[in-house]
Structure 1
Amino acid sequence: MSIIYVLIPLAIVLVAIGIAVFFWAVKSNQFEDLERQGYSILFDDDLPPEEKKLAEERKKQNDRN
């Protein structure tokens, strides 16, 4: 029974951390454009020249690793 005195505050702290992380993600615009990255894989030719150059650089870096 005494374990409840530990688990309840622990659960409250974990929920508070989860809520704080969620609000941080919303505040830093993590959920603004959810579909662009998915489409960019399919339609690589539609990227502007700057993004195309960045994509090629990232691909080269990933190939090295």
Structure 2
Amino acid sequence: MESLYILIPIAIVLVVIAIGIFLWAVKSDQFEDLERQGHNILFDDDKPKNEQDKNQDDQ
């Protein structure tokens, strides 16, 4: 029974911290563009990776 006096405040503090982190993420636009990263894997680059490196070295 005495352990509840410790566990309940710890649980409340953890919930408040989790809500705070979630609100910070929403306010800092972490969830604005969820589709872009999923679409990036579908589109190939125009040139293979080794050709891009050669072009950058020439410049």
Normalised by the size of structure 2, how large is the TM-score?
Answer: 0.72
1:1-42 deviation line (CA, Å, top 9, x unaligned) = 000000000000000000000000001100001011110111
Root-mean-square deviation (CA, aligned residues, Å) is 1.8
| Larger-Rg structure | 2
- 1:44 shift after superposition: 3.7
Match for 2:25: what amino acid? A
How many residues in Structure 1 have an aligned counterpart in Structure 2?
A: 47
- Where does residue 3 of structure 2 map in the other structure? 3
Normalised by the size of structure 1, how large is the TM-score?
Answer: 0.66
- Where does residue 16 of structure 1 map in the other structure? 16
Match for 1:42: what amino acid? L
- Where does residue 27 of structure 2 map in the other structure? 27
Moved over 2 A (4+): none
- 1:43 shift after superposition: 1.2
Give, in whole Å, the separation in 2 of the partners of 1:5 and 1:32.
Answer: 40
Give, in whole Å, the separation in 2 of the partners of 1:44 and 1:22.
Answer: 34
**Larger % of helix: which?**
1
